[in-house]
Structure 1
């Protein structure tokens, strides 16, 4: 075991020890690379779920003194969905959600590891992990088109920073999700099925390189390139591809020549 792996595991051992000593805590569940430990590198954070008795979620969310080495916390924030991010003074990052056992039913997960917890938590996580992610390709490709149109419109009125976010962020994200839903399974095995914008370089290196080259272009050139790439990548063999929508976007933006 490397020094990095030992440090990563040592923190988890301390976290589990804290949880077992507090009767308000039901379970700790590792998520992401905290469960799939073979993916851990120097940039990996500790990603976990803290399962508490009902009614104690906000206590643990807003008072972080229960965390190991809490005196070394440099920054913490509670996100709008209730998740928590913590940064220690050495740059070590935690990302965690807090729920009770019943609340786990509404969560999503792929890799997980129940580090400590009763059988009902194991059963709840097993049920979550096999739940189909659902097919979203039709919705996502439609959102690529709408975001290209909206983003270019904002760029043309001078709102270039917002346009960049809409096109380089939102449109790209929807394109990657649509691609993950349509391309052959053997090519998307490396992707995170909860967030197919992760590890694209491993799963689709050619696609990742093409998008990366587009991202450094002027925002409108980037948008036009993304629309061309979406059509090239997804239209062949897909009867439901929204060709009428593509044509409408091209006409409105004057990209018909």
Structure 2
């Protein structure tokens, strides 16, 4: 069975289990099993919300028999107060949360797909809220000054830490924090291709959305021992994108060259 069919069937089976119990109101698929089903591939998983009647939330979180009846669980990890990360015996991985109706207006999630709903609620406000989603604060910024100057200082601080022997901290400052700052304004620097942007993470599907940056980013993330080289590649990118302060460029390049020559 194809992965897409396998995932969608499993969600339908979960919906059937909920319907039989009579304590749930709605099953909502989100992510690739929500409204973005065309991007399901062999590495996709299940992301879903279960909305239950008042007073049943803890029961559905503390007892997972409503899932076990569909397929035995090989692994469960309660990663939030509202839900779990799970692995079924047949290899399907998933993440889910359980809410009561009144909580739906206060949680952040992308547009969803109703997999199953109590027939009496098909045209209810709950159905409208569930399908519409509720946006979280985006990681994107709409001006270059702050994030690109932040990235510049990430490079400087990271190289200083590398010089002290704090290589892990240095790698994070240069190869993670600085790159994240660039990602937050990449839509201002390069034409974004239309391919399922994710408000929760600008790095998601970046390779399809920003092919030009994707061709360069590997040189910015060269690994634990190569932070100085990574910093120089990031600096060159910043200099091409923005009027970087000359003195900061000089200091960053001096530090990186010094560290490269001392290896």
Give the TM-score normalised by structure 1.
0.78
Bigger mean CA offset, 139-148 vs 218-227: 139-148
Which residue pairs with 1:224 in the alignment?
232
User: CA contact under 8 A between 1:14 and 1:68: conserved in structure 2?
Assistant: no
Unaligned runs of 5+ in 1: 237-242
Is residue 2:58 matched to residue 1:32? Answer: no
> Partner of 1:105: helix, strand, or coil?
helix
> Partner of 1:187: helix, strand, or coil?
coil
Per-residue deviation at 1:154?
2.8
Bigger mean CA offset, 100-109 vs 190-199: 100-109
Which residue pairs with 2:2 in the alignment?
3
Per-residue deviation at 1:255?
5.5
> Cα 1:171–1:252, aligned 2, differ >3 Å: closer, same or farther?
closer
Q: Distance in 1 between matches of 2:147 and 2:52?
A: 35
User: CA contact under 8 A between 1:46 and 1:95: conserved in structure 2?
Assistant: yes
Q: 1:78-127: per-residue Cα shift (whole Å, max 9, x none)? A: 22574521123443210123322232223334442011233222221354
> Cα 1:71–1:114, aligned 2, differ >3 Å: closer, same or farther?
closer
> Cα 1:215–1:113, aligned 2, differ >3 Å: closer, same or farther?
same
Which residue pairs with 1:239 in the alignment?
none
> Cα 1:220–1:98, aligned 2, differ >3 Å: closer, same or farther?
farther
Per-residue deviation at 1:71?
6.5
Cα RMSD, aligned residues only: 3.3
Which residue pairs with 2:151 in the alignment?
144
User: CA contact under 8 A between 2:228 and 2:256: conserved in structure 1?
Assistant: no
Which residue pairs with 1:66 in the alignment?
66
Q: How does 1:193-232 map to 2 (within 5 A)?
A: 193-194=198-199, 195-216=201-222, 218-232=226-240
Per-residue deviation at 1:134?
7.6
Is residue 2:198 matched to residue 1:190? Answer: no
> Cα 1:225–1:66, aligned 2, differ >3 Å: closer, same or farther?
same
Q: Distance in 2 between matches of 1:96 and 1:80?
A: 10
Per-residue deviation at 1:54?
4.1
Q: 1:27-59: per-residue Cα shift (whole Å, max 9, x none)? A: 111111101211111100011112223454344
> Cα 1:73–1:211, aligned 2, differ >3 Å: closer, same or farther?
same
Per-residue deviation at 1:10?
1.4
> Cα 1:137–1:93, aligned 2, differ >3 Å: closer, same or farther?
farther
> Partner of 2:133: helix, strand, or coil?
helix
User: CA contact under 8 A between 1:15 and 1:68: conserved in structure 2?
Assistant: no
Bigger mean CA offset, 202-211 vs 23-32: 23-32
> Partner of 1:21: helix, strand, or coil?
helix
Q: Distance in 2 between matches of 1:219 and 1:170?
A: 13
Which residue pairs with 1:240 in the alignment?
none
Which residue pairs with 2:182 in the alignment?
175
Larger Rg belongs to: 2
Give the TM-score normalised by structure 2.
0.76
User: CA contact under 8 A between 1:72 and 1:88: conserved in structure 2?
Assistant: yes
Unaligned runs of 5+ in 2: 258-263
Per-residue deviation at 1:226?
1.9
Which residue pairs with 1:41 in the alignment?
41
Is residue 2:52 matched to residue 1:52? Answer: yes
